């Protein structure tokens, strides 16, 4: 990337595309663009990717994309946990809602891998491409241009800089600074829960079939996700009730796990304080229009996905695929990226996002009255019947593994690209 200076001494850069946010969607899109010969710089606020309690699930669709790119084999050499089922564990019994093992795929499972490990892997692969640059510790503080976004102003440890770009992609997550700078308000669709996340050690004698399980008790449920060295535990609480939960301390959480996840009882005492936890304030929201001239919002910046179904990473990566399909030919054609191209990305992806979010809203509405109450969760007769039918479990697996209306990578994106 060429660097020069202006009269004020502020560093000036120029690329074809600037991606703000080094999450899965931003990194996958940047990799695809760079591999297609588009000069791209990723600006990531943090100095590394090592942050706890972000989505860690790589669905079959994501693994198949990595395979198409020739990256799956090396990626899966990294430590990960293969989750082949998703289950509800209630006082009425154990219900398998999703059975990935029956999928017709090279990857009939969800790979649970720390997101930092996945992002480090993508960064390593991308930095081998001359057109790719990654600038960590770079916080965007403003947009360039008036009628059309022409780049960003950012700050790093060396001072303030400007990065001019033909196209800016905002992929900076659910609390997107880019969304605020561009004055693109997000509409909340409602959520009735929050999640307190923490980790407990993984031990050799732990149940081998503990994959993606929800454990229900009175007024709460806990999600337990397996990883090679630890269990990621999400203790779900009523929306806005965290101050009361925090005041009560760790003991109620420990007692819930000891009773409802008994194989974790021998280590719950390791949770000594709620300072060891991270609060995820659940939201379901989206922006009405994902773009303005020179700027496109993707992933949670455009549409906040709740943890329900664990498919936030999948939706962001599929946004990246759909965007690459549109943007690569536009970059190759030269000239400014037309608004019609940006509108096409939203047109392709919005039906899937609306479908997923509507499902999540229905789930939140069903579970919200139970949270914080003295009730036992009752999954209902229809739920028990549906989960007893293998065909429907396979259909559920396919729906979750690929999402609705999944895009496929246009071969033209990589045609003639660097390998």
What is the distance between the alpha carbons of residues 42 and 394, in angstroms, rounded to a whole number? 38
CATH code for the domain in which residue 94 is found: 3.50.50.60
What digits encode the pLDDT tens for the residues 223-233?
A: 998 877 889 99
pLDDT at 11 over 60: no
Total Cβ atoms within 10 A of residue 146: 8
Mark whether 155 and 101 lie in a shared domain.
Answer: yes
The domain total for the chain is: 2
Tell me the per-residue pLDDT of 50-67, one tens digit each, with 9 for 90 and over: 766 567 899 999 999 999
355, with CB counted inside 10 A (0-12, 13-18, 19+), is: middle
Question: What's the average model confidence in pLDDT over 288-298?
Answer: 97
Paired tokens of 384: 């028990």
What is the pLDDT at residue 26?
Answer: 97
273 with 152, same domain? no
Question: Has residue 4 got a pLDDT over 60?
Answer: no
Same domain, 18 and 160: yes
Q: What are phi and psi of 321, to 5 degrees?
A: -65, -50
pLDDT at 297 over 70: yes
- Paired sense of beta strands 151-156 and 159-170, if any: antiparallel
> What whole-number distance in Å separates Cα of residue 117 and Cα of residue 74?
12
Whether 62 and 185 map to the same domain: the answer is yes
DSSP string, 385-404: HHTT-HHHHHHHHHHHHH-S
For the segment 271-280, the average pLDDT, to the nearest whole number, is 94
Range of the domain at 361: 3-189+283-410
- 113-151 pLDDT, tens digit per residue, is 989 999 999 999 999 999 999 999 999 999 999 999 999
With beta carbons less than 8 A apart as the criterion, state whether 216 and 88 touch: yes
Alpha-carbon dihedral sign for residues 399, 404, 409, 410: positive
- Residue 258 and residue 325 share a domain: no
In degrees rounded to 5, what are phi and psi of residue 184? -120, 85
Residues in the chain: 419
Classify burial at 185, counting beta carbons within 10 Å of its beta carbon; exposed 0-12, middle 13-18, buried 19 or more: exposed
Residue 418, domain member (yes or no): no
DSSP, res 415? T
Domain boundary among 281, 306, 332: 281
Q: Please indicate, yes or no, if residue 416 is contained in any of the structural domains.
A: no
């Amino acid at each position: 990337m060429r660097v020069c200076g202006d009269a004020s001494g502020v560093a000036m850069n120029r690329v074809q595309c600037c991606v703000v946010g080094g999450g899965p969607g931003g990194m996958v899109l940047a990799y695809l663009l760079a591999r297609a010969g588009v000069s791209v710089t990723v600006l990531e606020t943090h100095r590394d990717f090592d942050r706890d309690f972000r989505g860690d699930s790589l669905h079959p669709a994501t693994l198949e994309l990595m395979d198409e790119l020739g990256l799956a084999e090396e990626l899966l050499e990294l430590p990960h946990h293969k989750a082949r089922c998703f289950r509800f564990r209630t006082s009425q019994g154990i219900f398998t809602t999703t059975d990935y093992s029956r999928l017709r795929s090279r990857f009939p499972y969800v790979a649970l891998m720390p997101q930092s490990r996945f992002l480090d892997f993508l960064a390593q692969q991308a930095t081998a491409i001359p057109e790719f640059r990654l600038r960590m510790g770079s916080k965007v503080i403003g947009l360039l241009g008036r009628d059309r976004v022409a780049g960003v102003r950012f700050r790093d440890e060396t001072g303030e800089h400007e990065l001019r770009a033909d196209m800016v992609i905002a992929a900076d997550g659910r609390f997107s600074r880019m969304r605020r700078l561009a004055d693109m308000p997000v509409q909340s669709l409602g959520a009735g829960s929050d999640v307190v996340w923490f980790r407990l050690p993984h031990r050799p004698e732990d149940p081998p079939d503990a994959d993606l399980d929800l454990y229900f008790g009175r007024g709460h449920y806990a999600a337990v996700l397996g990883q090679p060295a630890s269990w990621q535990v999400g203790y779900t609480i009523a929306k806005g009730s965290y101050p009361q939960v925090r005041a009560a301390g760790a003991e109620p959480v420990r007692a819930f796990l000891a009773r409802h996840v008994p194989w974790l009882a021998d280590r719950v005492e390791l949770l000594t304080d709620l300072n060891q936890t991270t609060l995820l304030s659940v939201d379901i929201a989206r922006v009405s229009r994902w773009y303005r001239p020179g700027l496109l919002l993707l992933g949670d910046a455009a549409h906040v996905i709740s943890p329900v179904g664990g498919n936030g990473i999948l939706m962001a990566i599929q946004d990246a695929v759909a965007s690459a399909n549109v943007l690569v030919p536009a970059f190759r054609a030269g000239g400014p990226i037309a608004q019609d191209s940006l509108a096409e990305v939203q047109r392709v992806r919005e039906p899937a996002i609306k479908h997923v979010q509507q499902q999540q809203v229905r789930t939140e509405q069903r579970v919200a009255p139970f949270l914080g109450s003295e009730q036992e969760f009752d999954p209902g007769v229809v739920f028990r019947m549906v989960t007893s039918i293998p065909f429907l479990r396979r259909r559920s697996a396919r729906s979750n593994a690929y999402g609705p209306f999944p895009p496929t990578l246009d071969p033209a994106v990589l045609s003639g690209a660097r390998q």
